Structure 1
């Protein structure tokens, strides 16, 4: 066992604690937190293991850079605008963002843009890490860029660009950024530990991510594609280079990069996803939930070496690569193993954050244990 386990589980979810302890005991995890809400009520809140290589205990108030878990939080913000009628998913992107119509993109719909179908999975021009903090510069590049494939004709994961694309639609429609709307619409009492654009006073609470190496199989295949000049994978992940180390620099936590640099704790992520589940925390209607989790793209992914991925509006949907709690589940996973999602049919909102990056497609054995325990409790 690497460190102690702390927190609370309701009696029927005791198996989740056993699974969490097993992950630490066998070395699948080094330090982590997991939270489950059911119908808006917390039923699991666990943390434990080690904070970092020093062996210091993982603290209750630990924060993590969420990587692509951030996309799901951006999806909740977009869903709130859909719910109020401020964004029409069937409208062309150019109705909100006129400059986007350049280079033959005038017919691209918001739905297509938000489901990895727009053909803008990589920046065409060179982009540095410092450039990621230049919102207008990144959005402007993408607006001027021609798509790499016919929008709507196929899909390919947009690891960084999705945040600027969806985020600019949000900004144009609502007059405020994704990070601002997250605080305004989901944190009325100011207690949520979730930011896209982290205030500096919380930086010391962010725990480091310990990167791993890809294992044989799809992880190695992805690594090979990532190293191949001219591949869609390399273009998407190497301009600039995306790795578990990229957001280790606190200077990249402060700007808004809503595909990748959100900072969260697990209990706040589960609380956020409770906004789409029946109960006292619900703020987004079931009508809108069904709209954003409707399948828009499914099949071989042009960026992720033809792995079969499945997307709704921003959110990843349940599929063999990331089953979550089965049909109806929707959310987002993050580089190395983070995961947050909702399953409205069971009333579950789930979040898992870890200090050990595993650079293979999910689900890893640690997630299988946790999700199996949640399913058994249901």
Structure 2
């Protein structure tokens, strides 16, 4: 039995009784101002057990709609990771092969020995474009991948790691394109959405643009993230290079023209229930389409420790996916997924059968984890 109604906080949707605490946490976030408008979805073993949305769409005070879509920012990386995991499963991509096997031009500037797994775990030293790049340049796939193929690494590949906020999508995406002849967005539709019902795109059809809700900024907390702020303001730092060429902020993908091309590190457009359904492809149940063998390959820890780009946030990555860590605990060991600028997150925890997605209109730019997510995940954990 599920419960469905719209409460005083404007929350609609359903929860199975076991997960009633998730609704209470979601309503609390809206009631106390931690969220303006948001949606959360939870699948367990392929069954939708939480599907909630509520609050306000924007400053107009209009209700947050059931069919709201969000630009996912770096949540998009996790969807790209699921596409890559599917290709690992089918044998079309070998994570231990050199990138140059698929993309010969990538071997330039001393990069011939970089393996796909190193490239996909932020170790390649290509966290920023060397040449100046504008936001509109991001729509030029061929131009971006040519720039990156010609670049020399900023550090010895495989020796250190640093978050690749935008370039990872072109790097991994080009390996995928060379291996299959298909783009990441095309494979997302072909491999994960045979019936055409998934509300998830990397490369949004223009007819859905009116459904996209926008971020509203939240003031940063003084003193939090100070180390990264200093690095960001330091000329020639890896942090500044990665986040200011072009400028990465909550406004980067505010232009609907940048929802149309494929930018698979940042411009995917999703609803929460579709994101959770996508991660259910890696969990036992009727939606599984990626074997546990492949899941274990991509969620195996590759790097963990100081991050050259996220200066005050040690990071832990598998292949593409972020793994459970103090920075983003998810549901603990075994969890893998991706969070996005401002507070979005989606992940799977196969051990509990959970696939989780949360999307929000309130952009909190402090380092994670945020209080609102703690509430939601604590409620999920309690239900289990």
- Matched-pair contact (CA < 8 Å) for 2:225–2:312: no
- Return structure 1 stretches of 4+ with deviation > 6 angstroms: none
- Matched-pair contact (CA < 8 Å) for 1:295–1:317: yes
Shift, 1:227, TM fit: 2.2
1:317 aligns with 2:337: no
Shift, 1:271, TM fit: 0.1
- Matched-pair contact (CA < 8 Å) for 2:127–2:165: yes
Pick closer, same or farther for the CA change 1:122–1:2 going to 2, 3 Å: farther
Shift, 1:2, TM fit: 8.3
Separation in 1, partners of 2:215, 2:191: 29
- Matched-pair contact (CA < 8 Å) for 1:198–1:255: yes
1:267 aligns with 2:273: yes
1:160 aligns with 2:174: no
SS at match of 2:363: coil
1:149 match: 155
Of the candidates 265, 284, 290, which is equivalent to residue 290 of structure 2?
284
Separation in 1, partners of 2:165, 2:11: 33
1:115 aligns with 2:121: yes
- Matched-pair contact (CA < 8 Å) for 1:88–1:110: yes
Shift, 1:3, TM fit: 4.2
1:293 match: 299
1:353 aligns with 2:359: yes
For residues 60-81 of structure 1, give each alpha carbon's deviation from its aligned partner in whole angstroms, at most 9, with x where no partner exists.
0000000000000000000010
SS at match of 2:294: helix
1:86 aligns with 2:92: yes
For residues 22-81 of structure 1, give each alpha carbon's deviation from its aligned partner in whole angstroms, at most 9, with x where no partner exists.
000100000000000000000000000000001000000000000000000000000010
SS at match of 1:331: strand
1:106-255 equivalence runs, <5 A: 106-255=112-261
1:17 aligns with 2:34: no
Tell me the matched-pair count.
Answer: 378
Separation in 1, partners of 2:227, 2:375: 25
Shift, 1:306, TM fit: 4.0
Shift, 1:231, TM fit: 1.1
Separation in 2, partners of 1:226, 1:337: 20
- Matched-pair contact (CA < 8 Å) for 1:214–1:223: no
Shift, 1:263, TM fit: 0.2
SS at match of 2:286: coil
1:44 match: 50
2:70 match: 64
Shift, 1:221, TM fit: 3.0
Separation in 1, partners of 2:9, 2:215: 17
Shift, 1:360, TM fit: 1.0
1:31 match: 37
- Matched-pair contact (CA < 8 Å) for 1:211–1:245: no
For residues 330-353 of structure 1, give each alpha carbon's deviation from its aligned partner in whole angstroms, at most 9, with x where no partner exists.
000000000000000000000000
Separation in 2, partners of 1:186, 1:176: 14
Separation in 1, partners of 2:224, 2:274: 32
Shift, 1:362, TM fit: 1.2
For residues 113-143 of structure 1, give each alpha carbon's deviation from its aligned partner in whole angstroms, at most 9, with x where no partner exists.
0000000000001001111000000000000
